[in-house]
Amino acid sequence: MTLGDSNKIRVGNWVIAIGSPFGLENTVTIGVISAKERPIEIDSRTFEHLLQTDASINPGNSGGPLLNLNGEVIGINTAINSQAQGIGFAIPTSTVKEVLNELIEKGSVSRPWLGVQIHPVTADIANFLGYNSTEGAVIRAVVQDGPAQRAGLKEGDIITAIDGEKISNPEELISTIQKKKVGVQVEADVFRNGKTIKVKIQTMERPAEAS
């Protein structure tokens, strides 16, 4: 098998999942890509940029390849929605290649971290804070001595952009920060007390215990 380019896969493209569900070795199922860039939460950890497929994935498929019709690996089967049928997720090869390169170069994988817990901006939150939109990510808690606290961010601040890139929701904030390097300075547009201010934050490596 060879690695394919997951960036070229499109919603509706046919895919094949291979694994050993419930000990049934070399089981092959087929389906389509249902969505891309899906975030899901597993055991309080958020996983980003996943491929969603309706190719049947069951316990035992995890770690098996998701193939395109050329036989190229475009994802690694990872998880299912246990409350539904035909909703499975795979890590795209674009992420796999990035992780592999970092492991080869440094022997470990590090991820940037702001040290905040965030929440969508609901209409009630926007009204309470005097914010005339529901776009952005509102900070509901700041980790003690984390990057955000060191930069002066507070509970109730709404992050609306990072380095000029608009942030519409918490998922976009997570995705944007994950693209940054550990130890770099980012500039956040933050709504606070009726106005938008600029706050510079230096990312840190995500602690192992952080969700």
User: What is the reported pLDDT for 206?
Assistant: 84
Decide which of 15 and 211 is more confident: 15
User: What is the reported pLDDT for 45?
Assistant: 67
Residue 119 structure tokens: 């929440």
Residues of the chain within CATH 2.30.42.10 domain(s) are 112-205
Query: Looking at the domain that runs over 2-106, which CATH code has it been given?
Result: 2.40.10.10
Residue 85 pLDDT exceeds 70: yes
Pick the range with the lowest mean pLDDT from 29-38, 68-77, 100-109. 100-109
Residue 208 pLDDT exceeds 80: no
Residue 82 pLDDT exceeds 80: no
Structurally, at CATH architecture level, domain 112-205 sits in Roll (2.30)
Residue 198 structure tokens: 């600029």
Residue 61 pLDDT exceeds 80: no
Average pLDDT, stretch 98-121? Answer: 83
User: What is the reported pLDDT for 145?
Assistant: 94
Report pTM: 0.64
User: What is the reported pLDDT for 165?
Assistant: 95
Residue 100 structure tokens: 């592999």
- 144-168 per-position pLDDT tens digit: 999 999 999 999 999 999 999 999 9
Residues of the chain within CATH 2.40.10.10 domain(s) are 2-106
Average per-residue pLDDT for the chain: 90
Q: What percent of the chain is modeled with pLDDT above 70?
A: 96
DSSP string for residues in the chain = -EE--GGG--TT-EEEEEE-GGG-TTEEEEEEEEEEEEEEEETTEEEEEEEEE-S---TT-TT-EEE-TTSEEEEEEEEE-TTSSS-EEEEEHHHHHHHHHHHHHHSS---EE--EEEEE--HHHHHHHT-S-S-SEEEEEE-TTSHHHHHT--TT-EEEEETTEE--SHHHHHHHHHTSPTT-EEEEEEEETTEEEEEEEE-EEPPTT--
Q: Confirm if 17 and 61 have CB atoms less than 8 A apart.
A: yes
Residue 128 pLDDT exceeds 60: yes
pLDDT category, 43, cuts 50, 70, 90?
low
